[in-house]
Structure 1
């Protein structure tokens, strides 16, 4: 699932950036979505690119607390599953972690998963020390995990797998990982294995984008010790992206406190075309540098056109008309629905207000119309 928003912590008014087709992972969102039906299984074999089986690989279901280990023949089985859309995560030493999407309808599905050797583990790599590495990792943590009270109780246990690259000219931070990120969330009692596909923080556009697949494990083995997390988990779920998509599937957006609007792009009439702007800059630059006596005369004009070039070609406009669920959600299969839209969606959660602590500590700036209260 690819969303340009924080998946772990709900924003007070968050935006789902454009996606042409986003599969709603029904079973992964809420186990109550699928009702009494025959239990199904996902079976398969883990192999390398030469076709040799790989024993001992760990196989996880993304978004669940379900996992297994491949046997000596590389075979695995994940049973007692409901129809739905699943993401398998596979991990074994010496190979790059892999994910595989599987749709269960009315029968067991068998899949082969091919792993690639992890070159960084199999060869000696000399890495030049980067004095800014810790700063980049801190930037990543602030945007990936956040700065909320809950986030302060989260810790990445294996930061050595993080590969960060920063482009100062573009003010663009990109992050990948050579293995699962292991995140300990003491606020909610979870240990999370997160297969990070991609992370990008564009400071100029003020946009954070990342995609990946989580697997959850309980930190406490005893059920009696997990009870203390029930309330914090319920609070974290309310208004989250998972809550939103579950409500979307059940067509209970209004009942659950969500409002959906659209953000559309319109031409910026104050900005002329690039051809006109560049022609004027070129003309004024030749005059400016060709005759020093005219420098003062042309400075303001040259600055005017250069400033116009930095203006956006389009402007984002919030359409306050509520978006109807049936215009977004389509039945894909019997137990799987899809969400399709062209414009960005502006989603407001009205059952909770933004606290002062959240505003001061989250680091997120959310623009909202003046007549909209500080809802989540």
Structure 2
């Protein structure tokens, strides 16, 4: 089974426990200490933003919570800073570094394969679904691309916002790509970054369609799952949590036994490794080679529901965590798999014959534990590997 890491955008944390706003303020400067007017100051994951005034000053009213603040100004590298708003105003001065991207583009020889790599990035980062087909990268020139031929690995980052217009959901997205990686060997995709959303202009009828599509895109998603898990409502909101348990394959002897028998049935002559099969043991050698090729473990679906109160634990006032063995098997029962997904070979997760075509995904733990926030955002995007519908 091919696994895909779609370990969320590194979203800003939308945790609000009080209605009162506290002021985040500061000055945006360059490295010489000079104020920078006209810089955009954004709150990642929200539609909250402002622009610095003639003195480089900005103010943002925010509720208590943990936020990623993004700053962008043409000619400077985009900057992100994490801040916590608790019970008082916060002052945050920011220093921007001049960008040398344009100079680099002039002095570095253009890559003849760049268009191909951009197409790969678009397919894996935005996707190939009907919604994704209505997305356009406005400024792909900001992509800093590297392809390692030896490792067959594509990596991408940006020091300016990548702008994506999503006509399917009515968003203009500014995304600061911290790191994107795709390995054609492992078939694993990983990305993290900071998004800022703006609503596209449209008629009332168009906005109504966008709102419906946005809800459909959200329901059953990883963010929906972890948000409902945080509030203890995952089961009520349509999720069933099972486990795939891997047990040792009883039909496969230990590696040492297999090696010993293959060595016994193989002779070395004249300093060269030549497999000379004794007529009496030809079938035996084939037998042990077949044993060598057997999987080490057998995966079994345990359909007993995993209780939320045993899976989820409190880290602190704002963060919860999960830790588990084996692999989580997540079933979303309120929507069926899209036919376009079901027809893609190697992506669907195996299911019992009596199970309807619900959306099924799996979670493999990479780094324990997994910390997550009230809005469904994940603290460490590399902590999990997704496969199936979430892939």
TM-score, length of structure 1 as denominator length: 0.76
Q: Deviations over 1:81-104 (max 9, x none)?
A: 322222111111222212122222
Question: For 1:324, which of 296, 301, 307 is the aligned residue?
Answer: 307
Report SS of the residue matched to 1:64: coil
RMSD: 4.0
Asked if structure 1 preserves the Cα contact closer than 8 Å seen for 2:314 and 2:321, the reply is: no
3-state SS of paired residue (2:358) = coil
1:235-314 map, 5 Å: 235-262=216-243, 270=252, 287=268, 290-291=271-272, 294=274
Q: Mean alpha-carbon deviation: is it higher for 278-287 or for 165-174?
A: 278-287
Map residues 160-171 of structure 1 onto 2, 5 A cutoff: 160-171=141-152
SS of 2:92 mapped into structure 1: strand
**Given the alignment of the two structures, is residue 206 of structure 1 paired with residue 187 of structure 2, yes or no?**
yes
Equivalent in the alignment of 2:389: none
- The residue that corresponds to 1:373 in the other structure is 356
Distance 2:257 2:36 in 1: 61
Cα pair distance change 1:180/1:86, threshold 3 Å: same
Give the equivalent residue in structure 2 for 1:99: 80
Check 1:349–1:128 CA distance in 2 against 1; reply closer, same or farther (3 A cut). same
Distance 1:291 1:357, change over 3 A: closer
Secondary structure in 2 aligned to 1:78?
strand
Give the distance between the partners of 1:311 and 1:75, measured in 2 at CA.
65
Q: Following superposition of structure 1 onto structure 2, how do residues 217-236 of structure 1 map, counting pairs within 5 Å?
A: 217-220=198-201, 225-236=206-217
The 8 Å contact of residues 41 and 51 in structure 2, kept in 1 or not, is answered as yes
Does the residue aligned with 2:117 lie in a helix, a strand or coil? helix
C-alpha deviation, 1:312, in angstroms: 8.5
The superposition leaves residues 26-59 of structure 1 with CA deviations (integer Å, 9 ceiling, x where unpaired) of: 44xxxxxx46521223223323445444332211
1:348 correspondence with 2:331:
yes
What CA deviation, in whole Å up to 9, does each residue of 1:312-356 have, x standing for no partner?
88887765443333345444554x233343555443211100121
Q: Deviations over 1:104-160 (max 9, x none)?
A: 222222223333332323556423232322222111111111111111111111111
In 2, Cα distance between equivalents of 1:125 and 1:271: 60
Change (3 A) 1:365 1:50: same
Q: Decide whether the 8 Å contact of 1:85 with 1:104 is kept in 2.
A: yes
| Structure of greater relative contact order (alpha carbons < 8 Å, 6+ residues apart) | 1
Q: Deviations over 1:282-326 (max 9, x none)?
A: 99999478248x46659x98xx88x96x99888877654433333
1:25 aligns with 2:13: yes
Report the CA distance shift for 1:26/1:290 in structure 2 as closer, same or farther (over 3 A): same
Q: Secondary structure at the match of 2:122?
A: helix
Measured after TM superposition, the shift of residue 161 of structure 1 is: 1.3
Partner of 2:381: none
Unaligned runs of 5+ in 2: 279-283, 360-391
In 2, distance between residues paired with 1:202 and 1:96?
27
> What residue is the counterpart of 2:52 in the other structure?
70
Q: Which residue number in structure 1 is paired with residue 342 of structure 2?
A: 359
> Does the CA-based 8 Å contact 1:162-1:175 persist in structure 2?
yes
Q: 1:315 & 1:177 partners in 2: Cα distance?
A: 42
The reply to whether residue 40 of structure 1 matches residue 22 of structure 2 is yes
* Counterparts of 2:228 and 2:173, CA distance in 1: 24
Query: Quick check: 2:70–2:79 contact (8 Å CA) kept in 1?
Result: yes
Matched, 1:153 2:99: no
Larger helix share, 1 or 2: 1
Cα pair 2:155 2:179 within 8 Å, conserved: yes
Shift of 1:280: 11
Correspondence for 1:16: none
Pair 215,315 (structure 1): closer, same or farther in 2 beyond 3 Å: farther
Distance 2:12 2:324 in 1: 16
For 1:127, the equivalent position in structure 2 comes to: 108
C-alpha distance in 2 between matches for 1:54 and 1:207: 41
